[in-house]
Structure 1
Amino acid sequence: MLNTETPSPRHPDLDSYPTGQLVQAFVDDQLDALRAVQAAAPALARAVEAALPRLQAGGRLIYVGAGTSGRLGLLDGVELTPTFSWPPERACALIAGGPGALMKAVEGAEDNASQGAADLQQLQPRAQDVVIGLAASGATPYVLGALQAARAAGCLTIGMANNPGAPVCTQAEIGVVLDSGPEIISGSTRLKAGTAQKIALNTFSSSLMVKLHKVHGNLMVDLQATNAKLRRRALALTQRASGAAPEAAELALAQAGGQVKLAILMLRRQLTAPAAKTLLERHAGHLRAALDAA
């Protein structure tokens, strides 16, 4: 039996616990998710290094999963745009059963390998693309079908699963095993298996965004200020990175069209918005390099 399906020996009387003990048991069990990702860190690093040149060449991140795994893939991709200004058309997510499966389970959809391949092919995959297959069991046919089609198209394939030796990992170019073990409620992989996938996806995509110069130091300098909270954050980031007074930072942001990275460069190098934009483009969006340029 798969580790993720094996009943946990830790809490055989879970249904008899008082509320405080019950909650503590669920919380403590999540620690296994963190340990699983810690053990997978070298594989995640390999995945980042392999994906980076593909994305630098204009490739897309394509997430493929079923159920919880599919929803987690979509979540990771969607959040890249407001956080890092990643183009939304370069973060695609496929879920078994289609968009309707986001809100309601579609029975049997995950068992259809040919549909996984067809859905992937509909995106017209190319060699620059990075396809991430997600499955707690590691044997979901829909995901395996998509991975097979991705490999045939020359994409980089990365498999993330919660069982050692899982086909999703062995059939991908890079396998990331997140061995989180049995669930506290047997087979409910929306629990720590899902948590492990969420941590791993956060780590993978955020590391890529740092490598793509969308972070300066540890500051989120490529965010999209689409609401009042984010506009306040953009102003605070501009002030922190430039040392400018609030009024000067606000003016620079306005002239930069809300682009934090550009406003920082304008203030630090005393440049107009067009000159700062030219300098930043010359250094492929790398703010540190632009600031240090002669």
Structure 2
Amino acid sequence: MAVGPEITLPNGRKMPTVGTGLWKVSKDTAAEHVYNAIKLGYRLFDNATDYGNEREVGLGLKRAMDDGLVKREELFIVGKLWNTFHAREHVKENFQRTCSDLCVDYLDLYLVHFPIALKYVPQETRYPPEWKHEVDGPVIPVKIPFQETWEAMEALYNEGLAKNIGISNMSGAMLYDLLSYAKVRPAVLQIELHPYLQRQQLVELALTEGMAVTAYSSMGDTGYHEINMVPGGPRFVPLLKHDLIAEIAKRHNRSSAQVLLRWAIERGVAVIPKGSNDREMMENLNVFDFSLTEEDMKEIASLNQNLIFNDPGKYAGRLIWAW
């Protein structure tokens, strides 16, 4: 189980158990955010084309390396292949743009962001392309077998450009299909995971098959309110304000956020919380000097609702990711 500060991936490379996610970090603050995170001790940075801030993140990474705060080999940099680049001839294009924007010549981990292929949008037309082929147009899926995409990902691995490759937002059934033809097995499965969405079977499947699991949205609903992805009404309780989580935090003299992160780590899962200030970011790193009890874990298990916040079908206006 991933109870220490690093996880060993199938090829022997080490991945930090706690990193920082960069979704919704503004362009105006991204460079400083990353530079400051490195000063605080972060070494894993979870990026994606779709976040729209990779160039600014790259400036922060470059500044930290130029200033001698960290060496490239001490960082674990993650990128993600966007949906519009799934065709064999476009996978490397997206990868190279990510590396250029991040000011690096290789990635420690490259993930397929979603197992959803969308119509290609040339970089000169719009970058990042987001979900729609045209700004105010429809979402246009295309019929690209995932095997084609994965073979192009394997080529990046075999060339040494991506030190590890993996997938994100993939179901167990599709994961089994991928394993039937993969010559390079996925090193990591990244999924939405929190006490309202515990995914016990999927986590066990991935770990049994030798993959590391990374949880995103560990705090549940916090990033989804402004994009209308959280159920309305007075009955919904945000995880960070849940009485049970607060009570467990009080028992351990910790914050609710630390309990939520530790819950994932106790299950053998890595986490990539964002943190909006130095105090939160330091709290998120300091989760290795306490453990949850068996009773704590049982109580948190009772919160499962199979509640997915990050459902692309909701904001794409099309059922392209029926889970």
Task: Give the TM-score normalised by structure 2.
Answer: 0.29
Query: Quick check: which has more Rg, 1 or 2?
Result: 1
- Give the number of the structure whose residues are more often helix, by fraction: 1
Task: Give the TM-score normalised by structure 1.
Answer: 0.31
